[in-house]
């Protein structure tokens, strides 16, 4: 799967970021299910790709079809369900948050908090 650029000012379209988000999330989940661990970089890329998708949607709010929006909700639900794994793989998530200063609406940067709330499983 190659990242392709749209003609829209060289920006990647939301649908392309959705494909990358799905790809990275699925790989990370596969790795965690199979080995119960993965490299922190694999987790980082999931979160940063989700951030890039949010940025693309901010630029182009109607950039996803109805089916793609449904897919995004499913992927987000799956990521939230595995917040405890993200907290395990990225114990430095609080430091990343301090550096990036994301708003609370960017919930993917707060998965450690969600895992704590749910009891860490």
- Residue 90 forms part of a structural domain: yes
Q: What share of the chain is helix, strand, coil (3-state, %, to 5)?
A: 70, 0, 30
With respect to residue 76, please indicate whether it lies within any of the assigned structural domains: yes
Count: domains in the chain: 1
**Do the domain assignments include residue 82?**
yes
The number of angstroms, rounded, from the C-alpha of 39 to the middle of its chain's C-alpha atoms is 15
Any domain includes 81: yes
User: Binning pLDDT at 50, 70 and 90, where does residue 108 land?
Assistant: very high
Q: Per-residue pLDDT tens for 47-96?
A: 999 999 999 999 999 999 999 999 999 999 999 999 999 999 999 999 99
Q: What percentage of the chain reaches a pLDDT higher than 90?
A: 86
Parent domain of 92: 14-117
Tell me what pLDDT residue 120 has. 55
């Amino acid at each position: 799967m190659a990242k392709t650029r749209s003609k829209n000012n060289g920006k990647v379209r939301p649908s392309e970021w959705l494909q990358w988000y799905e790809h990275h999330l699925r790989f990370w989940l596969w790795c965690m299910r199979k080995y119960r661990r993965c490299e922190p970089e694999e987790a980082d890329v999931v979160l940063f790709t989700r951030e890039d998708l949010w940025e693309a949607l901010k630029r182009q709010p109607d950039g996803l079809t109805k089916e793609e929006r449904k897919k995004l909700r499913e992927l987000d639900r799956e990521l939230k369900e595995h917040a405890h794994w993200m907290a395990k793989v990225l114990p430095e998530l609080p430091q990343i948050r301090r550096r990036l200063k994301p708003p609370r609406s960017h919930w993917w940067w707060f998965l450690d908090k969600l895992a704590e709330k749910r009891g860490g499983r």
